[in-house]
């Protein structure tokens, strides 16, 4: 249960008193109760296949007093996984799962936040959870792994920008897409070229398609793809030094209404083990000052672009030291299994 109260006041100027701004004030109690049951089964077949399957039933009740929101939704969420290691080394696995994604609490509460005179963020009490059917396949051979993923999501949650031509104000809120198809093909590879040079490479191609209305607009068919490449090199140098060079490239891409420009940046580090249990590390982040993120949103009467740079270029010097025995058992995981729910307390509209 959450209690959200916000009061915004503005100075009247002439009288010096404050007046309540009802459009940016909100008070309301939010309650959510979730109940779930889970059953699982696993077995191995004679041909070397391993099977893991499960079925979860979940029911959720939500109530937001200030917005007259009161609803209950439930469903079955099956999962199935098959895996096998072939005699000559390759390991293959395929899996299916139906998944549920709930919106964050702050995305539901109709709190209004004004970034500037022409940009407002607001929660959407009518935002629905999304349900997805996902298929995954993986093949591993030595240091090479091929991954393929497909998902079909109903009521996909989308952070959306709306424009009011009368007030010239942009409003950022969350909405649901009726259906979203997403695909991913990834390849990862690790290789030791020499005794002093090893490399890890990760690359992936993402795609998405939707023909769902966005708000009151028929955006038509929105299709987009994007390529990501991560290349990390580790060099063993004389006298116990090690150097790392990370290269990151992201191609121009599109996902639903959001378009991103190309991106490239580099990290460089040098480290050395000291006193057996200590490590000294020098890091040069964003070497060429190119970690600039640029986005464009274009559909209907909306056309906006923005870019941001966190000024990530910096040089850091860090020293770490490990005390005590290395054979001490790790502490038990005290997680209650509700980490995803705790994370939903944040996020949202800001």
The tens place of each residue's pLDDT in the chain, 350 residues long, gives 455 554 444 445 556 667 766 666 666 677 888 899 999 999 998 888 899 999 999 999 988 776 677 889 899 999 999 999 887 778 999 999 999 998 887 788 878 888 888 889 888 888 999 999 999 999 998 889 999 999 999 999 998 888 888 888 889 999 999 999 999 999 999 999 999 999 999 999 999 999 888 877 887 788 999 999 999 999 999 988 999 999 999 999 998 888 999 999 999 999 998 887 888 999 999 999 999 999 898 888 888 888 878 788 899 999 888 886 655 555 555 544 455 555 555 544 43
Residue 251 · residue 262 · CB < 8 Å: yes
**Locate tokens 């966190």: which residue?**
310
Structure tokens at 326: 């290395």
Backbone angles phi, psi at 288, to 5 degrees: -100, 10
**Where does residue 246 fall: left (phi above 0), alpha (psi -120 to 50 degrees), or beta otherwise?**
beta
**Where does residue 289 fall: left (phi above 0), alpha (psi -120 to 50 degrees), or beta otherwise?**
left
What is the pLDDT at residue 348?
46
What's the burial of 84, exposed, middle or buried (CB within 10 Å: 0-12/13-18/19+)? Answer: middle
What is the dotted CATH code of the domain comprising 33-343?
2.40.170.20
**What is the chain's percent helix, strand, coil content, to nearest 5?**
5, 65, 30
Residue 329 · residue 86 · CB < 8 Å: no
**Where does residue 16 fall: left (phi above 0), alpha (psi -120 to 50 degrees), or beta otherwise?**
left
Of 276, 215, 285, nearest in space to 244 by CA: 285
Distance, CA of 349 to CA of 162 (rounded, Å): 13
Distance, CA of 208 to CA of 181 (rounded, Å): 5
User: Which residues are within 8 A (CB) of 223 and not within 5 positions of it... i.e. 6 or more apart?
Assistant: 207, 208, 209, 254
User: What is the H or E stretch that residue 70 is in?
Assistant: strand 69-85
What is the pLDDT at residue 343?
56
User: Which residues are within 8 A (CB) of 16 and not within 5 positions of it... i.e. 6 or more apart?
Assistant: none
Q: Residue 58 has what DSSP assignment?
A: E
Structure tokens at 155: 């009521």
Distance, CA of 116 to CA of 85 (rounded, Å): 57
Backbone angles phi, psi at 249, to 5 degrees: -135, 135
**Locate tokens 């940046």: which residue?**
265
CA dihedral 125, 127, 129, 132 (to 10 degrees): -170
Q: How far is CA 118 from CA 11, 32, 65, 214, 336, in A?
A: 20, 33, 29, 21, 43
**Where does residue 13 fall: left (phi above 0), alpha (psi -120 to 50 degrees), or beta otherwise?**
left
Q: Across the chain, how many H-helices and E-strands are there?
A: 2, 22
User: What is the H or E stretch that residue 339 is in?
Assistant: helix 339-343
């Amino acid at each position: 249960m959450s209690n959200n109260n916000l009061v915004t006041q503005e100075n009247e100027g002439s009288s010096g008193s404050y007046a309540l701004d009802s459009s940016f004030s909100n008070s309301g109690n939010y309650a959510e109760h979730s109940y779930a049951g889970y059953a699982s089964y696993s077995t191995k077949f004679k041909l070397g296949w391993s099977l893991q399957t499960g079925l979860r039933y979940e029911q959720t009740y939500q109530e937001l007093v200030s917005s007259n929101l009161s609803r209950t939704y439930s469903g079955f969420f099956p999962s199935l996984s098959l895996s096998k290691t072939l005699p000559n080394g390759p390991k293959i696995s395929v899996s299916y799962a139906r998944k549920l994604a709930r919106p964050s609490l702050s995305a539901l509460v109709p709190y209004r936040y004004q970034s500037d005179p022409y940009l407002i963020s607001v929660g959407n009490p009518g935002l629905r959870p999304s349900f997805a059917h996902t298929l995954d396949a993986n093949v591993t051979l030595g240091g090479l792994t091929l991954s393929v993923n497909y998902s079909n999501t109903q009521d996909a949650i989308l952070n959306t920008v709306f424009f009011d031509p009368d007030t010239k104000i942009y409003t950022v809120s969350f909405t649901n897409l009726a259906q979203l198809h997403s695909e991913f093909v990834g390849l990862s590879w690790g290789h030791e070229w020499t005794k002093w040079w090893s490399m890890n490479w990760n690359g992936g191609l993402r795609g998405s398609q939707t023909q769902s209305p966005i708000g009151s607009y028929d955006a038509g068919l929105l299709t987009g793809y994007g390529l990501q490449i991560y290349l990390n090199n580790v060099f063993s140098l004389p006298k116990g030094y090690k150097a790392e060079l990370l290269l990151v490239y992201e191609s121009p891409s599109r996902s639903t209404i959001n378009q991103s420009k190309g991106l490239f940046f580099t990290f460089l580090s040098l480290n050395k083990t000291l006193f057996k249990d200590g490590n000294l590390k020098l890091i040069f982040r964003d070497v060429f000052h190119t970690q600039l993120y640029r986005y464009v949103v274009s559909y209907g009467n909306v056309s906006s672009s923005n870019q941001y740079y966190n000024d990530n270029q910096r040089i850091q010097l860090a020293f770490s030291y490990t005390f005590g025995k290395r054979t001490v058992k790790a502490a038990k995981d005290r997680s209650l299994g509700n980490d995803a729910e705790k994370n939903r307390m944040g996020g949202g509209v800001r």
